[in-house]
Amino acid sequence: MGRKVLLIEDEPNIIEAISFILKRDGWTVATHAEGTTALEAILRHAPDVVILDVMLPGRSGYDILQDLRGAEGGQDLPVLMLTARGQTKDREMAERLGASRFMTKPFSNKEVLAAIHELVQA
């Protein structure tokens, strides 16, 4: 098992926190902070799981997720969506587009780790 995660997030403090806890747990972590090139980054890194922020520069996480689910091989990739907006409509949109899990900021390190473990076990 590769145990490789791609974190697509543009807030440096969140990148640092999530990268730290995942690396400590034995994951290889790649990061990407730009919405317009996120799909290419996913295809290039071929991660076991993607952590995808909703609000990114250039394109939204929803657009990226929609493209990923339409791409060859992108239907089965586990995606944990992160958002600062936790309204029901945001959650419903993420589910409709095929997010594997949805998490609202702020979140605890333990929550992120548990969600990632759950996604790769599924």
**pTM for the whole structure:** 0.95
For the chain, the C-alpha Rg in angstroms (whole number) is 13
Could you list the beta-strand ranges (E) of the chain: 4-8, 28-32, 49-53, 79-83, 101-104
Residue 22 phi/psi, 5-degree rounding, is -75, -40
Q: What tens digit of pLDDT does each residue of 47-81 get?
A: 999 999 999 999 999 999 999 999 888 899 999 99
Query: In the chain, where are the structural domains located?
Result: 4-121
For the domain 4-121, what is the CATH code?
A: 3.40.50.2300
Q: How high does pLDDT run on average in the chain?
A: 94
* Residue ranges of the chain with per-residue pLDDT less than 50: none
Q: What is the pLDDT of residue 73?
A: 82
DSSP assignment string, 30-51: EEE--STTHHHHHHHH--SEEE
